[in-house]
Amino acid sequence: MKIHLDTRIPAGTPRAGVLASADAATALTTFAAAQASWNAFWARSGKGWCTATDVGTDAYANLLPADPNTPEGAEKYRQAGAALAKLLHAARHTGVSLPNAHPALVEGLLLANYRYTDQFAQKKEENTPSLNAVYLEGWKAGDVRALEIRVESVFLARTLINHPVNVLNAQGLAQAAADAGKEYGFHVEVFNKKKIESLKMGGLLGVNWGSLDEPTFTVLEYKPANAVNTQPYVLVGKGVVYDTGGLSLKPTNSMDTMKSDMSGAAAVLGAVSGAARLGLPVHVVGLIPATDNRPGGNAVTPGDVLTMSDGTTVEVLNTDAEGRLILADALHYAKRYNPQLVIDLATLTGAAARAIGHYATVAMGTASEEVWSDLLASGSRTHERLVRFPFWDDYNELLKSTVADLKNIGGADAGAITAGKFLEHFTNYPYVHLDIAGPAFADKPMGYWPAGGTGIGVRLLLDFLSTRTA
């Protein structure tokens, strides 16, 4: 979905704004003055800010006792934008003018305006945002375009996540990547099953044994002539387009949202697309191993031993720990690029979600402290926050097998960390693992997250890559 952004404002367009001050008392005084000129009424929100809705044709206002130039304040502005989007939707406005609005407010409004409507036979008014145009008074055209690209990159990821597997299988995900590459100007190569077999990707092939659909391995490469890095940044996304758990079958209610198990892949595609559209002077490679995980056919069984593409043998003790198997092959493949840094994103473990909920992403790895500082700062700026977990070698003991080089699960303790340590085995470069299991999918609307795929990771990666351009 797309919203038209422009600095040219048609006559009669309703205006909306934000009134901010250091404290609530002053903010309310300021708001009272605005009431007189805007003929509006207000109601206190439980989140420390107030909203006003129009009684005629003119304004909406959000009142924020917050500093938008701090990460915490900027997030309040995003949430105010989300509230504004809700008001505009309720009033069925098609366009709104935002005089001198802070970027975070606009970002929150735009992100909250997303809806996935592809599967409705008839578009219902309550499910379809009316807002299709936002006019940004006082903005430069380049800033408008940059925000538009970042938001649309998130929307790309969200839509892919929300597609059910009967609409988007592994081949469909690869085709979506190819289409994006053609549209936005980056190279895409899709490996079919025969090519994957030639690369001896035993993890990806093993997970795919139970499926009627063949796996894919997709390589995205954005390499502008002015790239500042001689070694690329490699982004690896878990592309399990649907996860039943395989023979280690999930309960039915745990399968309901498993179309989202390719959220890491969606984030990688969104980030590479966004980097290309923004013209960032960075060389970026994306790797997406993709399959579904089903219990049919010749499905991998607990006790089977798979041989990864680097020759490592893995005892599979739980077929529902499949994401790390396909990522292992991708991480090994990344070695051929001599990367400056590799970041993988994956809905990898329930342990990560149980540890910190949907509020942040679990992060760990071997990257330098400089990289970690920049990543954590990007997480703070975008509110796609990272919680860094320990990555001690002591955890390797939990992955020792009696019949193979490794086993694919480490037991009940430290499940998120042992999954990351399993993946580390296949790396020989600076590495970051992001377990997005908590925030990748929203069961219900939350602020500027609609129900469904959140597109988590796209804004984080684009912000981080923007810091690596000098």
For residue 13, the model assigns a pLDDT of 78
Residue 87's SS3 state is helix
Higher pLDDT, 300 or 122: 300
Residues 285 and 232: their CA atoms lie apart, in Å, by: 7
Q: For residue 113, what are the CA distances in angstroms to 137, 201, 223, 425, 448? A: 20, 40, 32, 42, 8
Our CA angle for 375, 378, 384, nearest 5°, is 100
Which one has a higher pLDDT value, 250 or 120? Answer: 250
Confidence of residue 44 (pLDDT cuts 50, 70, 90): very low
* Count of other CB atoms within 10 angstroms of residue 16: 28
Q: What is the pLDDT of residue 40?
A: 38
* Mean pLDDT of the region 90-99: 82
Q: How confident is the model at residue 61 (pLDDT cuts 50, 70, 90)?
A: low
Q: In which element (H, E) is residue 109 found?
A: helix 103-112
Return the percentage of the chain with pLDDT > 90, whole number. Answer: 74
> Mapping DSSP to helix (H, G, I), strand (E, B) and coil, where does residue 353 land?
helix
Q: Which residue has the higher pLDDT, 109 or 44?
A: 109
CA distance 470 to 458: 21
Q: What is the pLDDT of residue 348?
A: 98
Confidence of residue 28 (pLDDT cuts 50, 70, 90): low
Give residue 72's pLDDT band: very low, low, confident or very high (50, 70, 90): very high
pLDDT at site 232: 98
- For residues 217-226, average pLDDT: 98
Residue 369 is predicted with a pLDDT of 98
Residue ranges and CATH numbers for the domains of the chain are 4-139 (3.40.220.10), 149-467 (3.40.630.10)
In this predicted structure, what is the pLDDT of residue 43? 36
Q: Span 215-231, mean pLDDT?
A: 98
Per-residue confidence band for 49, with pLDDT thresholds at 50, 70 and 90: very low
Measured distance CA(267)–CA(145) in Å, rounded: 20
As annotated, the active-site residues are 250, 324
- The answer, yes or no, to whether residue 41 has pLDDT greater than 50, is no
Mean pLDDT across the chain: 90
> Does residue 47 carry a pLDDT above 80?
no
For 27-41, 340-354, 387-401, which range has the lowest pLDDT when averaged over its residues?
27-41
Q: Is the pLDDT of residue 410 over 90?
A: yes
Q: What is the secondary structure of 149-200 as a DSSP string?
A: HHHHHHHHHHHHHHS-TTT--HHHHHHHHHHHHHHHT-EEEEE-HHHHHHTT
Least trusted range by pLDDT, from 94-98, 253-257, 373-377 = 94-98
Confidence of residue 62 (pLDDT cuts 50, 70, 90): low
Q: What mean pLDDT do residues 276-281 have?
A: 98
pLDDT at site 15: 73
Q: Read off the pLDDT of each residue in 36-56 and give the average, rounded to a whole number.
A: 42
Query: Above 90 in pLDDT, residue 341?
Result: yes
Residue 39 has a pLDDT of 37
HSE of 277, CA atoms in CB hemisphere, 13 A:
24
The mean per-residue pLDDT over the stretch 440-450 comes to 95
Which range among 80-94, 257-271, 392-406 shows the weakest confidence by mean pLDDT?
Answer: 80-94
**How far, CA to CA in Å, does 204 sit from each of 22, 191, 404?**
54, 12, 18
* Model pLDDT, residue 17: 67
Cα 10 from Cα 223, distance rounded (Å):
40
pLDDT of residue 50: 47
Least confident of 15-19, 45-49, 214-218: 45-49
Task: Name the residue among 398, 419, 430, 445 with its Cα closest to residue 158.
Answer: 445
Reported as a pLDDT band with limits 50, 70 and 90, residue 308 is: very high
Q: Is the pLDDT of residue 288 over 90?
A: yes
Check pLDDT > 90 for residue 98: no
Indicate the range of 46-60, 137-151, 153-167, 356-370 predicted with least confidence: 46-60
pLDDT of residue 56: 42
- Which one, of 220, 315, 197, 330, lies nearest residue 275 by Cα? 220
Name the residue with tokens 């013209």: 279
Judge if pTM exceeds 0.85.
yes
Please say if the pLDDT value at position 48 is more than 50. no
Residue 265: name the closest of 209, 204, 205 by CA: 204
Give dist(CA 165, CA 143) in Å, integer. Answer: 36
Mean pLDDT, residues 431-458 taken together = 97
Residue 51 has pLDDT above 70, yes or no: no
Lowest-pLDDT choice from 25-39, 111-125, 142-156, 171-185: 25-39
